[in-house]
Structure 1
Amino acid sequence: MSNTSPLKDSPLGHDVVYPTHYDPSVLFGIERSLNRQSLHIPEQWHGADIWNGYETSWLNPKGKPVVALARFVIPWNSPRIIESKSFKLYLNSFNDEVVEDMASLVQRMEQDLSAVAGAAVQVSLIPLRALNGQPITALEGQSIDELDISIQDYTPQSDLLTCLPKAAVVTESLVSDLLKSNCPVTGQPDWGSVQVRYTGPQIDPASLLRYIVSLRRHTEFHEHCVERLYSDIQQSCQPERLLVYARYTRRGGLDINPWRSSHADSVEEPRLARQ
């Protein structure tokens, strides 16, 4: 079921026919290890990739359509990520599939996705009415986007990151909505917001903003960008504790929200203005 052929063989960037019946074979896994070879990855790490699926539907035993919001949690230490277009094709393969009940669909999705990721994937399906009143909010922390600075670099350079002179040790959360990178296959832009939560020598917020913007022309998947952010901040600024969390805007009915932390932690899951 898990296709781990070269990325050029994935459905991304190719014309494909949407499946007309349930088909887990369309799922395509991408090895995490290939991208991590160029990064300083800690031995002890925590985090997950949280996906939200806004176009999830199936048929009940009477043939009546059911819709829901789907939430998927893929652990950071799964050997593979799941390529997003293949994920979309997989979810759409349920559109005309008769399913006994929501619990059986969750079980089937968990089995299929876990087989491709190589680790246990958690799936939950949420009725739309349960989301009434969900607020639009922002990532918690101090926004650095209004800093009046000049920027010239649009490819990632870790040496842009610095701490303040004679920096005291602080605990703070810095947030930017200016994260942008590009799909490594199609070149399409990926837009997101990022939170950097840390304890350590105080990071120069202008240097952090320059570094976040330096990914603007970079080509890498969402999960890989967050790991690059984490790795470069950890290496350059040496915080005692670090969490990097990005929430990306949706594409094809899916948004991806990866986080990585030096310690066992948890993250809020706000719905941002662009989600």
Structure 2
Amino acid sequence: MKNVKKTSPSATLTQLGRPAVQPASPEEAVLEFAPNPHPGTTYLIRFTQPEFTSLCPMTGQPDFAHLVIDYVPNRSIVESKSLKLFLNSFRNHGAFHEDCTLMIAKRIIATIKPRWLRIGGYWYPRGGMPIDVFYQTGKPPADLWLPDPGVASYRGRG
């Protein structure tokens, strides 16, 4: 491959390997990506965020969730530091569970256009009731090994 100029994925990333300021909101957060190192191969990437927080838009009280994000990459993969900063930007963001979960999925889809994506938002009880939110873009690829998300349904005490 003579005369082919290869660009390092890190050359286009602005947050990885550098100090980064926590974004004040999801809208301000920059979600970055890198080239898929195995394009054309069906494989699953899973991000788990067991300490996700946002704010109730009505009371301002904190809401907590365990998120599981699974996707099959197409041409790009999500850069994990930028994803952490994006998810942490919800810490001061007021939105219902459904809105937070779908905002995350849609932002990832808009950024990397994966072949397939699903997200499970396992929200901890508030007012005595857990609210779990699930979304996926369609049927997973037929040849995909799709492990269980590994998050138990809320059982409470007793």
Give the TM-score, by structure 2 length.
0.69
Q: Runs of 4 or more off by more than 6 Å in structure 1? A: none
Which digits, 9 at most, give the CA deviation of each residue in 1:7-28, with x for residues without a partner?
xxxxxxxxxxxxxxxxxxxxxx
Answer whether contact 2:46 2:71 (CA < 8 A) is retained: yes
Q: What stretches of structure 2 of length at least 5 have no aligned partner?
A: 1-17, 141-145
- In 2, the alpha carbon distance for the partners of 1:150 and 1:156 equals 15
Give 1:228's aligned residue. 103
Query: Paired residue for 1:185, among 52, 58, 61?
Result: 58
Instruction: Give secondary structure in 2 for the equivalent of 1:202.
Output: strand
Larger Rg: 1 or 2? 1
The root-mean-square deviation of aligned C-alpha atoms, in Å, is: 2.7
Answer whether contact 2:29 2:85 (CA < 8 A) is retained: no
Answer whether contact 1:153 1:210 (CA < 8 A) is retained: yes
- In 1, the alpha carbon distance for the partners of 2:60 and 2:29 equals 25
Give 1:117's aligned residue. none
1:114-125 matches, cutoff 5 A: none
Aligned length: 126
Percent of residue pairs bearing the same amino acid type: 22
- In 1, the alpha carbon distance for the partners of 2:28 and 2:104 equals 9
Which digits, 9 at most, give the CA deviation of each residue in 1:156-183, with x for residues without a partner?
037511112x332452111112311111
Matched, 1:152 2:22: yes
Which digits, 9 at most, give the CA deviation of each residue in 1:125-181, with x for residues without a partner?
xxxxxxxxxxxxxxxxxxxxxxx97442131037511112x3324521111123111
Paired amino acid for 2:22: Q
Instruction: Give secondary structure in 1 for the equivalent of 2:33.
Output: coil
Query: Paired residue for 1:250, among 113, 125, 129?
Result: 125
Give the TM-score, by structure 1 length.
0.41
Give 1:237's aligned residue. 112
Give 2:12's aligned residue. none
Q: What stretches of structure 1 of length at least 5 have no aligned partner?
A: 1-147
Deviation at 1:196, TM superposition (A): 1.0
- In 2, the alpha carbon distance for the partners of 1:158 and 1:235 equals 15
- Which has more strand, going by share of residues? 1
Paired amino acid for 1:171: L
- In 1, the alpha carbon distance for the partners of 2:67 and 2:86 equals 12
- In 2, the alpha carbon distance for the partners of 1:262 and 1:160 equals 22
Answer whether contact 1:173 1:195 (CA < 8 A) is retained: yes
- Structure 1 residues 161 and 181, CA, compared in 2 at 3 Å: closer, same or farther? same
Instruction: Give secondary structure in 1 for the equivalent of 2:67.
Output: strand
Paired amino acid for 1:153: P
Answer whether contact 1:159 1:236 (CA < 8 A) is retained: no
